[in-house]
Amino acid sequence: MCFRESDGKFLWQQTNEKLADSNKDWPETGVCSAPLVEGGRVYYVTNRCELACLDTQGKSIWKLDMIKELGVSPHNKAASSPASYGGLVFVGTSNGRDVDNKRVPAPKAPALIAVDQKTGKLAWQVNDPGDRDSGWAMVLARGGHYRRRGASGDGRGRWLGARL
């Protein structure tokens, strides 16, 4: 949903159909992504595991389907909020374990991606799975470095990073 900042008036909303597989898109759960609004564009991860780019009027500019195009298998839901740096949008893919938490259905799929903000084309990807609880919860980009917080076996999480 988009509201005017000055008075809170409702402007528009974007909706997304549920995936047929409820193990990848939990029932009664919608979008779990906080949007990134930058340069007249809105970036967010849909419940369908797509990185979407809209203009600030709600018109679709591009969409990257991480399931179809990258082979991602989200664990229960897609839950990552985009960050940006240097013309790229960074997002955790939510690639994770199966419904029984026994195996990773897509072990070669990326855990973190960077996408060109203008075109939606994949710039690079990282396959550093951690323990694949449900993908990466947070991505930060600052000063040419990225850091991401992912789950660890003790539930506290851990920070991983590299130079861009």
Q: Give the Cα separation of 128 and 69 in Å (integer).
A: 18
- Residue-level pLDDT at 25: 64
Q: Give the Cα separation of 148 and 140 in Å (integer).
A: 6
For each of the chain's 164 residues, which pLDDT tens digit applies?
889 989 999 999 888 877 676 667 667 777 778 899 999 999 999 888 899 999 999 999 999 999 999 998 887 778 888 988 889 999 888 877 777 777 777 788 888 889 999 999 999 888 765 544 444 445 555 555 555 555 444 444 454 555 54
| Closest among 21, 135, 134 to 126, alpha carbons compared | 135
- Residue-level pLDDT at 132: 46
Residues 6+ away with beta carbon under 8 Å from 89? 36, 43, 51, 53, 82, 83, 114, 115, 116, 117
Strand, coil or helix: what is 68? helix
